[in-house]
A and B are shown apart, each in its own frame.
Chain A
């Protein structure tokens, strides 16, 4: 039961949660800080697909979650970091994955927030449209970010970060460049000009970034803001040395990329426009720049595909119906791409993330038609296609998740 303290500031706990994390007051600085982390030159950072699958502290080229070159998962993530919000206020919270103890409302965030990890042990909080604020957190030190800086004038709308070749690349959905920052200090190191790839509104709408073998791949949705139809999309190949685009590969409209479950040299692209049924799932080869034929069509399921979480053999796809009044979670056999019904939610839900251990975590929004009003996280086992456990309640709906 959340109980505000007498001065109006509160620490929120989910129903049945344990004690909150011990909060430390950390000095605030924007000067260079030493984090004692190994540099990640030349590694394959899996980047982030805007919150739908996690980036793991993984330095090798295999598909598992640890730093060894074998296929086990010794250093599985232990903690989820999430953003909860009613879109009026935003807060950062955590959940212990072993005990599933959730602590909401640890720290207030500026606004329109998301959280991501890029594999270097830090947590990046992007505060997007209207805020343009980057916060860099050292896990566990949630009372204050190690770095906080403004990255725009309110219109830049930072969407994604990825670490590549020792630098942090940040996409600006409302900007004409990809910013290059120091991963620990946030200092501006350079920029990649992507203005040439704008359509309609002079903005390319770069949403997601990926790093493979020291090369950044930027996914441009190229939306026409009049019609909200994509006049692209395009995947840009960025040379990190010259900070320039060296190739541009046309792909299906409004691409929303995901990490491929088994092949790091491919991406899955969810394409098509929200609420229209014109989308599909394709695979994109990062080495050849070619897009496959559609693997699945969203019209066959009556939803716009949005979320994706996968193991090596199975996946779950989340999508909403065309009037945004219901959300379905479908289970996928990756050997055949056969989809079966997982479960459904009778309202819009958009947050889903994979903890790298076979569980997809789904943010369940508030159902205002049923009393008492609850919201929270639902665990879903990917391989068995079944919900696991009951709803873990949060104080506010969860909109973004990452893991460390």
Chain B
């Protein structure tokens, strides 16, 4: 008795990755989850970052603080960045939304694809990801070696290399793969400075971004052994990053710095047989940060501290074939987090804060009606135990199976169904309840600008979606069309509210409601034209009863986003591409006073590979039309003042984005 072929597709184990490697296009039609697979292939510019690839997917929003290598976060379907869980080969990098992950810390050249689960992620990804899952997948069959280099404006340089080797014996196969990437940039781009005086245009000028340099070294390596019994792999990642923290454009810092070192170690193994399949992983992630704001430019007064976070975790997923058409799944995980902080100014060390979480997720998947209908259901039982300095009020969480002042156990159901109308046309729907506990920063602050709130309740949400996907191959034309509608209601949403000049405090608000429409179209024609378009229209609503916010659109959630890329390829000799992105209908604040102007950005690249099998040369222009300013209402509260004023373009209000940026790249893969 073997696993149905479809059963392998949405598990992130190494072996499944190998099996699905050549068929990742089919993964989206094999799961009830709202899944987009983004191949990191030649259709994207060589100089692209992980964030650039992610924003090609419908429903995904990337927000940047400005400049290449600068802080960037991901949100999905109007979620907050903390609600999105990011995984590396199935290992969580920010479990339970422990932090909003900085995408620019991830090495671009290390991955072959990115899986974006916009709804109903598989049980292996845990109970928390109410905002979706991003799974970064390393190459299953890496090329022997490769090299890339980029140089460009603002003293930007990036160099990456990877290598792989394989050793095969009669009964054992061993492959080793490493990827190294180094990045440095000054980030000293020009931006429009209005000095916050909207009625006074005499002091407007273009300024230069200060203290915005980044330097980063990334290493990722994997050793994997394959035998009849199964697969065992060891993955090690290292990050060293040093960056200036410039602060808002109106008040740039000169000396605030952040150093980050991260070590990621994971061991995974899986085995399958007639009975089913099991996969087991263990990991350790150690993140050490040195925050230096001794001039008090960004935070509250002088700050100089070390912050160390350690996560130890293990997870397992076991699929057991109960019947030829029924597979049961049991996913379990446990994790222990520890957070230490040392104030270097006063040479005092705080008591460590720790947390233990576990989850157990029994589920079942069934194929019905000659595999035309696939249904799955999972119950996520999640336990949370805070060993912290002070108690977290879990006694107030409704619907919990068990609760006390320090422990919380909840059970959240999810279900999905996929209906196959034709071999390449499926409809899918899902429904689920989710929970995200507050992280340490939200609970206890950071002794700087964030004041903790130990009374925070976990966020909970209920999400539903309905979608259709079809793949239409016809001669040398291939079209893939995706469309979906979704709805997510979040209760006890955690938002940061400022409560003084320089401090913010997280609170639970009544909640939010987000619903929308997503669509994506991919066209491949004659192996020459490759075109991808994604569109999302989102309606969001603040459910607060406060007069200032009731019924308002959520800040940072645009009503419309369009992303379009078209690339032309001539064999493997040359390629040109153009990217267009459009964003509209975004408010910067909960009160919905300040609305960003519609933004349309164009980028383009041209690539040649004059020698077969030889290197590729590429020139890319980001923000080709040099959009640096936007026109916004001078006084949004005065309906008689229709004067528009210029303001710098930004994702986060006050943090300008760069204008046109030229990059030259070289890439060679053996």
A87 & B497 in contact (Cβ 8 Å cutoff): yes
**Which residues of B (465-513) have their CB < 8 Å from a CB of A?**
497-502, 504, 507-510
B252 & A112 in contact (Cβ 8 Å cutoff): no
**Which residues of A (76-134) have their CB < 8 Å from a CB of B?**
86-89, 91, 105-108, 110-112, 127-133
Minimum-distance CB pairs A-B, first 6: A154-B251, A87-B498, A225-B301, A373-B546, A372-B545, A150-B195
Q: Of B498, B510, B640, which one neighbours A25 at CB under 8 angstroms?
A: B640
B202 & A371 in contact (Cβ 8 Å cutoff): no
Bound Cα distance A112, B502 (Å):
9
Residues of the A chain whose Cβ atoms lie less than 8 Å from the Cβ of B497: 86-88
Indicate if A11 sits at the interface (CB-CB under 8 A).
yes
B641 & A25 in contact (Cβ 8 Å cutoff): yes
A28 & B641 in contact (Cβ 8 Å cutoff): no
Bound Cα distance A305, B251 (Å):
31
Whether A111 touches B196, Cβ cut-off 8 Å, given contacts A4-B592, A86-B590, A226-B301, is: yes
Residues of the A chain whose Cβ atoms lie less than 8 Å from the Cβ of B640: 23, 25, 143
In the complex formed, the residue of B with least CB distance to A156 is: B251
Bound Cα distance A11, B641 (Å):
12
6 more A-B residue pairs beyond the given contacts A368-B509, A371-B510, with a C-beta to C-beta distance below 8 A: A12-B547, A87-B497, A89-B593, A130-B251, A131-B250, A373-B545
Residues of the A chain whose Cβ atoms lie less than 8 Å from the Cβ of B593: 8-10, 89, 91, 108
Q: Of A2, A10, A135, A371, which one neighbours B545 at CB under 8 angstroms?
A: A371
Residues of the B chain whose Cβ atoms lie less than 8 Å from the Cβ of A86: 497-498, 548, 589-591
Chain B residues with a Cβ closer than 8 Å to the other chain, count: 53
B637 & A11 in contact (Cβ 8 Å cutoff): yes
Residues of the B chain whose Cβ atoms lie less than 8 Å from the Cβ of A87: 497-500, 504
A89 & B591 in contact (Cβ 8 Å cutoff): yes
Q: Of A130, A144, A150, A368, which one neighbours B203 at CB under 8 angstroms?
A: A150
Residues of the B chain whose Cβ atoms lie less than 8 Å from the Cβ of A129: 251, 501-502
Indicate if A5 sits at the interface (CB-CB under 8 A).
yes
Indicate if B297 sits at the interface (CB-CB under 8 A).
yes
Bound Cα distance A339, B361 (Å):
61
**Which residues of B (32-89) have their CB < 8 Å from a CB of A?**
none
Indicate if B357 sits at the interface (CB-CB under 8 A).
no
Indicate if A395 sits at the interface (CB-CB under 8 A).
yes
Indicate if B571 sits at the interface (CB-CB under 8 A).
no
Indicate if B584 sits at the interface (CB-CB under 8 A).
no
A12 & B548 in contact (Cβ 8 Å cutoff): yes
Indicate if B633 sits at the interface (CB-CB under 8 A).
yes
B199 & A144 in contact (Cβ 8 Å cutoff): yes
B499 & A348 in contact (Cβ 8 Å cutoff): yes
Residues of the B chain whose Cβ atoms lie less than 8 Å from the Cβ of A4: 552, 592
Whether A396 touches B548, Cβ cut-off 8 Å, given contacts A88-B591, A226-B302, is: yes
Residues of the B chain whose Cβ atoms lie less than 8 Å from the Cβ of A226: 301-302, 345-346
Contact with A along B599-639 (1 / 0, CB 8 A): 00000000000000000000000000000000001011111
Indicate if B259 sits at the interface (CB-CB under 8 A).
no
A127 & B196 in contact (Cβ 8 Å cutoff): yes
Q: How far is the CB of B65 from chain A (nearest CB, A)?
A: 16
Whether A133 touches B195, Cβ cut-off 8 Å, given contacts A1-B547, A89-B591, A149-B203, is: yes
B635 & A143 in contact (Cβ 8 Å cutoff): yes
Residues of the B chain whose Cβ atoms lie less than 8 Å from the Cβ of A336: none
B interface, by DSSP: helix, strand, loop or mixed?
Answer: loop
In the complex, the number of residue pairs spanning A and B with C-beta atoms less than 8 Å apart equals: 154
Indicate if A390 sits at the interface (CB-CB under 8 A).
no
Q: Of B196, B499, B501, B544, which one neighbours A373 at CB under 8 angstroms?
A: B544
Whether A155 touches B251, Cβ cut-off 8 Å, given contacts A86-B591, A143-B638, A396-B548, is: yes
Q: Of A23, A110, A154, which one neighbours B248 at CB under 8 angstroms?
A: A154
In the complex formed, the residue of B with least CB distance to A186 is: B200
**Which residues of B (344-399) have their CB < 8 Å from a CB of A?**
345-346
Indicate if B413 sits at the interface (CB-CB under 8 A).
no
Q: How far is the CB of B38 from chain A (nearest CB, A)?
A: 33
Residues of the B chain whose Cβ atoms lie less than 8 Å from the Cβ of A225: 296, 301-302
What are 28 contact pairs spanning A and B, CB under 8 A? A2-B547, A4-B552, A8-B595, A10-B592, A10-B637, A11-B638, A12-B547, A25-B640, A87-B498, A87-B499, A88-B589, A89-B591, A89-B594, A108-B635, A128-B501, A129-B501, A130-B250, A132-B196, A133-B195, A149-B200, A150-B200, A201-B296, A201-B302, A225-B301, A228-B301, A366-B546, A371-B510, A373-B544
A145 & B199 in contact (Cβ 8 Å cutoff): yes
**Interface residues, chain B, CB within 8 Å of chain A?**
195-200, 202-203, 247-248, 250-252, 295-297, 301-302, 345-346, 497-502, 504, 507-510, 544-548, 552, 587, 589-595, 633, 635-641
Q: How far is the CB of A181 from chain B (nearest CB, A)?
A: 14
Residues of the A chain whose Cβ atoms lie less than 8 Å from the Cβ of B545: 371-373
Residues of the B chain whose Cβ atoms lie less than 8 Å from the Cβ of A227: 346
Indicate if A15 sits at the interface (CB-CB under 8 A).
yes
Bound Cα distance A227, B296 (Å):
12
Whether A144 touches B641, Cβ cut-off 8 Å, given contacts A150-B200, A368-B509, A373-B546, is: yes
Residues of the A chain whose Cβ atoms lie less than 8 Å from the Cβ of B547: 1-2, 12, 15, 373-374, 393, 395
Indicate if A153 sits at the interface (CB-CB under 8 A).
yes
Indicate if A30 sits at the interface (CB-CB under 8 A).
yes
In the complex formed, the residue of A with least CB distance to B194 is: A150
Q: How far is the CB of A3 from chain B (nearest CB, A)?
A: 10
Whether A9 touches B301, Cβ cut-off 8 Å, given contacts A87-B497, A89-B591, is: no
Q: Of B199, B251, B345, B346, which one neighbours A153 at CB under 8 angstroms?
A: B251
Residues of the A chain whose Cβ atoms lie less than 8 Å from the Cβ of B552: 4
In the complex formed, the residue of B with least CB distance to A25 is: B640
A154 & B502 in contact (Cβ 8 Å cutoff): no
Q: How far is the CB of B336 from chain A (nearest CB, A)?
A: 30
Bound Cα distance A396, B552 (Å):
14
B636 & A23 in contact (Cβ 8 Å cutoff): no
Bound Cα distance A11, B638 (Å):
7
B498 & A131 in contact (Cβ 8 Å cutoff): no
Residues of the A chain whose Cβ atoms lie less than 8 Å from the Cβ of B197: 110, 133, 148-150
Contact with B along A168-199 (1 / 0, CB 8 A): 00000000000000000000000000000000
Q: Of B202, B295, B509, B548, which one neighbours A2 at CB under 8 angstroms?
A: B548
Contact with B along A44-84 (1 / 0, CB 8 A): 00000000000000000000000000000000000000000
Contact with B along A269-283 (1 / 0, CB 8 A): 000000000000000
Residues of the A chain whose Cβ atoms lie less than 8 Å from the Cβ of B252: 153-154
Residues of the B chain whose Cβ atoms lie less than 8 Å from the Cβ of A143: 635, 638, 640-641
Residues of the B chain whose Cβ atoms lie less than 8 Å from the Cβ of A128: 501
A110 & B196 in contact (Cβ 8 Å cutoff): yes
Residues of the A chain whose Cβ atoms lie less than 8 Å from the Cβ of B587: 8
A154 & B250 in contact (Cβ 8 Å cutoff): yes
Q: Of A11, A89, A132, A148, which one neighbours B199 at CB under 8 angstroms?
A: A148
Residues of the B chain whose Cβ atoms lie less than 8 Å from the Cβ of A9: 593, 633, 636-639
Residues of the A chain whose Cβ atoms lie less than 8 Å from the Cβ of B296: 201, 225
Residues of the B chain whose Cβ atoms lie less than 8 Å from the Cβ of A1: 547
Q: How far is the CB of B171 from chain A (nearest CB, A)?
A: 63
Residues of the B chain whose Cβ atoms lie less than 8 Å from the Cβ of A111: 196
Q: Of B195, B510, B548, B638, which one neighbours A395 at CB under 8 angstroms?
A: B548
Bound Cα distance A239, B641 (Å):
43
In the complex formed, the residue of B with least CB distance to A85 is: B498
B248 & A105 in contact (Cβ 8 Å cutoff): no
Residues of the A chain whose Cβ atoms lie less than 8 Å from the Cβ of B591: 86, 88-89, 396
Bound Cα distance A133, B199 (Å):
11
Residues of the B chain whose Cβ atoms lie less than 8 Å from the Cβ of A105: 637
Residues of the A chain whose Cβ atoms lie less than 8 Å from the Cβ of B592: 4, 8, 10
In the complex formed, the residue of A with least CB distance to B553 is: A8
Bound Cα distance A48, B465 (Å):
58
B202 & A30 in contact (Cβ 8 Å cutoff): yes
Contact with B along A209-249 (1 / 0, CB 8 A): 00000000000000101111000000000000000000000
Bound Cα distance A89, B251 (Å):
17
In the complex formed, the residue of A with least CB distance to B545 is: A372
Residues of the B chain whose Cβ atoms lie less than 8 Å from the Cβ of A374: 547
Bound Cα distance A28, B200 (Å):
8
Bound Cα distance A128, B589 (Å):
19
